[in-house]
A = this chain, B = another copy of it.
Amino acid sequence: MRRMTARPANAHQARLLKLLRDGGPASRAQLGDRVDLSRSKLAVEVDRLLETGLVVADGLAASRGGRRSHNIRLAPGLRFLGVDIGATSIDVAVTNAELEILGHINQPMDVRDGPVAVFEQVLSMAAKLRASGLAEGFDGAGIGVPGPVRFPEGVPVAPPIMPGWDGFPVREALSQELGCPVMVDNDVNLMAMGEQHAGVARSVGDFLCVKIGTGIGCGIVAGGEVHRGTTGSAGDIGHILAVPDGRPCACGNRGCLEAHFSGAALARDAKEAAQQGLSVELASRLETNGTLTAVDVAAAAAAGDATALDLIREGGNRTGQVIAGLVSFFNPGLVVIGGGVTGLGHTLLAAIRTQVYRQSLPLATGNLPIVLGELGPTAGVIGAARLISDHLFSPA
């Protein structure tokens, strides 16, 4: 099958494509209501899109009391690949043009194995999805990496937790391998875009998306657009000072948020507690598995273990203090908490909320929801698909 060759020729067409993507199939009349164009002009642009094959007209909708309308929809064969490279695992998904997930696989992996090994795995996962008949090829791919990215070029820059990726031309390399356009971004930004597109952040202009996984980061959306900062490192909140003279951090400083709360820090603290005999629950898990992860802490907490709950509360308080500062500064309309630790659930959320509502001024917190992400592990891949579709659905 020939892949997507055309791009929208003008802003009107781009607008229409995005309407169809976000709102699903519609008739010409419905499109006319949502776009500021005369019926005649709209018909012209739709016809041109039909010619390019980007959209198709299939079937007639039920009558609403008059002539039945033609259903206009995005080409049903369009397929986007969403890739979310985490610190310890890879998510790959295929979506259709409406960014609905058709297939999704996850595999453990270590980013520190370097770009070559990781790419091999990503490509084999993509091949598996293709082989399962979900896609004959990909029209575009979005990919998220756990570190700062020089966005226009799609190249990671000085990523702390992924040495060996610095300056690696991710966009170009992947584009060559897959034979389709590729866009690269920070994984946290993609999570934010995912929640914005299909999750809790729909129709919120300014929000923060805090991702707590192996590390900790924050996606920033201002005026509906992702804010990436001057060097692409915006949202890198893991190394904000949380505890003066606190724990040593990999970055060389002390007391960084990430050194006190993150998947890695939680596992470390849980292990210490277990070895000190503070928790029978954690100790038995340590013995069984040989090691502890955030998942064990979550399970222990769910079982009512006091030490585990304390660890989570403590971490939540630290995180909440930092978020309180960000809320005062940025004044978002929503704060989303996501990432691997969402399994810690409401204990974590309650601790964060307490700190934010206590420390920030009422004007900033008065109507500020702080909620868990809605999409879980799919947020990243949906965001990735959204990234590339935004690119492809813009005038060339």
Contact = CB atoms under 8 A, between A and B. Distances in A.
A154 interface: no
A56 to B, nearest CB: 35
Interface string A223-235: 1010111111111
A295 interface: no
A228 B222 CA distance: 10
Contact of A358 (B253, B326, B363, B366): B253
A241 interface: yes
Interface string A359-385: 111111011100000000000000000
Nearest to A332: B230
Contacts of A206: 227, 229-230
A116 to B, nearest CB: 23
Interface residues of A, number: 49
Contacts of A237: 325, 328-329
A333 interface: yes
A322 interface: yes
Interface in A239-260: 239-241, 244, 251, 253
B233 A363 contact: yes
Interface string A142-172: 0000001000000001101000000000000
A361 B223 contact: no
B236 A359 contact: no
A239 B324 CA distance: 10
Contacts of A328: 233, 236-237, 239-240
A331 B222 CA distance: 14
A241 B241 CA distance: 11
Contacts of A220: 329-330
B234 A361 contact: no
B330 A229 contact: yes
A321 interface: yes
B326 A233 contact: no
Nearest to A148: B363
Given A321-B241, A322-B325, A325-B325, A363 B231 contact: yes
A191 B241 CA distance: 28
B331 A251 contact: no
A126 interface: no
Interface in A76-120: none
A358 B249 CA distance: 13
A247 to B, nearest CB: 15
A41 to B, nearest CB: 19
A209 interface: no
Interface in A285-309: none
Contact of A222 (B222, B235, B253, B322): B222
A328 B257 CA distance: 12
Interface of A: 148, 157-158, 160, 205-206, 218, 220, 222-223, 225, 227-237, 239-241, 244, 251, 253, 321-322, 324-326, 328-333, 358-364, 366-368
15 contacts: A206-B229, A206-B230, A220-B329, A220-B330, A229-B332, A230-B368, A231-B364, A231-B366, A236-B364, A237-B328, A239-B328, A239-B361, A240-B324, A241-B321, A329-B330
List the 3 closest pairs (A to B, CB-CB), nearest first: A229-B331, A234-B331, A230-B333
